[in-house]
Amino acid sequence: MKGLFISGSGTNVGKTFIAQHLIRLLANTRKVSVRKPVESDCENKNGRLIPKDALLLSKACNTNEPIDKVCRYKFEACSSAQMASQALGLKLILDDLVDACMADEFVIVEGTGGLLSPIATQALNSDLIQALDMPVVLVVKDELGAVNQALLSINAAQRCGLNISMLMLNQIQPNLLKNAQAIAQYTDIDINVFNQDDLAVFESQVEKALLGL
């Protein structure tokens, strides 16, 4: 199964935001499916759990797959998927999530939290990536401390035998930190900076990187 796994240096770094842009770019040249196999902090609307991130991914993909296929496991609790499932007396295992990621087309899978965040019983996001055998797009918030966050995540990925194909610095607010140049001194991973004001440049660079997938 061909695809990309979207992970981050932590929570709230903009994984879903970056994933939406990647999905739209990939959809220009191929059919793309999306999977958010498990999502916590879902909104409860009349007893039905609404996975906000999965909905955004699905809209970007525009394949009209049922949301329950895009996101099979949904929890209301604002905690890790492992903790949320255990609180309900459920045993969510790695094989469940692998099965939930299956798709016939090129698939974008978004994880939860960072590479070493728990995602199922005795399983981390890194374990799911290993099982899916997918290259990783690592999203890091472009802020003070981003160099440390990026290098810690890269080191963790290397120890787990994962392939980071791209590092995305999500520049939510313009800054003069030059984190991309600093990180590049310690890794040969392709680094791209997302800046809303330079969207055309970002898309051009990323499109070239995606051609080989």
Is 208 marked active-site?
A: no
For residue 107 the two structure tokens come to 């698939």
Vertex 163 angle, CA 5 and 102, to 5° = 35
Do residues 63 and 117 make contact, with C-beta atoms less than 8 angstroms apart?
Answer: no
Q: Rounded CA gap, 116 and 190, in Å?
A: 21
The SS3 of residue 185 is coil
DSSP state of 122: T
Q: Please identify which of the residues 15, 36, 74, 141 carries the catalytic annotation.
A: 36
Q: Rounded CA gap, 104 and 106, in Å?
A: 7
Q: Rounded CA gap, 42 and 72, in Å?
A: 12
The SS3 of residue 59 is helix
Task: Find, among 13, 3, 23, 5, the residue nearest to 139 by Cα.
Answer: 13
Residues that are catalytic: 36
